[in-house]
Amino acid sequence: MDRRGTVGTSRPQAVRRDVAREQTPRPGDDVGVLTRLREAVDDVARHSPARMTLVVFASVVGIVTALLSLPIATSTGQRAPFADALFTATSAVCVTGLVTVDTATYWSPFGQVVILVGIQIGGLGVMTLASILGLAVSRRIGLTQKLLAAAETKTTRLGEVGSLLRAVLATIAVIEGALWIVLFPKYLLIGYPLGEALWHSLFQAISIFNNAGFIIEEGGLGQYAGDWWMVMPIIIGAFIGALGFPAILSISRNWRRPRQWSLHAKLTVATSTILWVVGTLAIGLLEWANPRSFGTLPAADRILNAMLAGMTPRSSGFSTVDIATMTESTWFIQDALMFVGGGSASTGGGIKVTTFAVMVLAILAEARGDPDIEAFGRRIAPTVLRLAVAVAFVGATLVGAGTLALLVLTDLHLDVVLFEVISAFATCGLSTGITANLPDSAKYVLSALMFTGRLGTMTMAAALALRDRRRVIRLPEERPTIG
């Protein structure tokens, strides 16, 4: 009320409205267009970060596809078919490694650089976006709000988000740099000139850490089946890359005190190690006497290749032995390992090792009659189990739908189709050799699986966690019969 008894407007409010009216961009104004575009992006990021992630990665895939479609991208100077360009771009950005054409001979140096940049962007983007989504879930505060707050206060410090991004970049630079330094002398000893040795070692280092599975060696890695200097960096680098940044950060901060690692880090390291050991023993025993795979190698080399074969199905996709020569029993073991995949917020795919670990712990707790799911002296909330079951079920549904689609589109057998579909969904990159001969329609199906497998489970987990709501009124409880 003002002095005359009528509803008035305070001067500060009127001034603010006048200023806002003056600053409102007129139609056709470039600044106005940019402002509206920025506001639209902020609105999408604020209300649907999962959708924003999908849009960003789809845009990157589109750009890489366009670059690979240029005549300069191929070694022959001819334009690559769209299906092959899209498939390769998706495989690179989603750090999968499945290919329809030979990376070493089909693509020119320009094309290989484009693939490498796609791998690096995909690996960095997945680790960064997954970590930020996880931070948003845990804090219930979106990244956009923090960015807007920083802009409003004219400060460049973003707290945990800024530290997170710097730590991700530093981690990637250190590990990829270490792999580059280790592999560079090896390529010099092989006989590569200085420039080619630098290029091959750099490409291999980035591909290893990002679990991409791409190689530019003519003839593949089969020539290094007994080379410990070449194979061990692949095993170690892929294992670290599949741990995920949250686990790596927790370990690096408390590397002398494992007891102080986060529960996530403990579960990731323990489950990853168990899966690696079990995979190594199972595949080593199944392929030990197979003359088409390990049978003709010396005992030490068989052990080395078993260690690699136990690690690569988790996501990296590197193999010194032709997968098609392995037994169907080995394929089944690899199917299971690929479906589990790597750690959360890592360059690995699959449903993630923590998802698998939580479900196994829930089964053990139920078998013992324990009311709570416990691990390493901590109790796991029931909501985590619900989320794990949802992620696993969606992953299985995608694999089933993809398998059915390829069976309809091709005349291939179930075993090879299932292997290829799980490899695409888990962004692993292992193949029985059928990918190059698939029709374009089947290539599009696998491309969609690689994309959804890379981002689907991550964004779905974040979206479901952010949708957690409280209810004042709860319905009466009743237990239906199970089993």
pLDDT the model gives residue 198? 95
Average pLDDT, the chain: 82
Q: Is 375 helix (H, G, I), strand (E, B) or coil?
A: strand
85, 20 Cβ separation under 8 angstroms: no
Instruction: Calculate mean pLDDT across residues 39-50.
Output: 57
pLDDT bin (cut points 50, 70, 90) of residue 47 is low
Work out the percent of the chain whose per-residue pLDDT is above 70: 77
CB 355 within 8 Å of CB 311: no
Average pLDDT estimate for 383-388: 88
Query: How does pLDDT run across 324-357, given as a tens digit for each residue?
Result: 999 999 999 999 999 999 988 788 889 999 999 9
Which has the closest alpha carbon to 122: 199, 206, 180, 238? 206
Is the separation of the CB atoms in 266 and 375 below 8 Å? yes
Give the residue-averaged pLDDT of 221-249: 90
| DSSP-derived secondary structure for 381-432 | PHHHHHHHHHHHHHHHHHHHHHHHHHHHHS---HHHHHHHHHHHHTT-----
Summarised one tens digit per residue, pLDDT across range 432-462 is: 999 999 999 999 999 999 998 887 665 655 5
Residue 127 and residue 168 in contact, taking contact as beta carbons nearer than 8 Å: yes
Helix (H) or strand (E) holding 207: helix 194-209
More confident residue, 143 or 270: 270
Residue 380 DSSP code: E
Q: Compute the distance between CA of residue 99 and CA of residue 91 in angstroms, rounded to an integer.
A: 7
* Residue of 56, 42, 54 whose CA lies nearest to 456: 54
What's the pLDDT at 57?
A: 83
pLDDT tens digits for range 110-139: 999 999 999 988 887 655 655 555 555 554
pLDDT digits (tens, 9 = 90+) for 281-295: 999 999 999 999 999
Model pLDDT, residue 11: 42
Mean pLDDT of 405-416: 95
pLDDT at residue 126 in the model: 58
| Tens-digit pLDDT profile for residues 9-20 | 444 444 444 444
- pLDDT, one tens digit per residue, over 297-314 is 999 999 999 999 999 998
Instruction: Answer for the pair 409, 442: CB distance below 8 angstroms, yes or no.
Output: yes
Could you write out the DSSP letters of every residue in 214-275?
----TTTTGGGTT-HHHHHHHHHHHHHHTT-HHHHHHHHHTTT-GGGS-HHHHHHHHHHHHH
Q: Is the pLDDT of residue 264 over 50?
A: yes
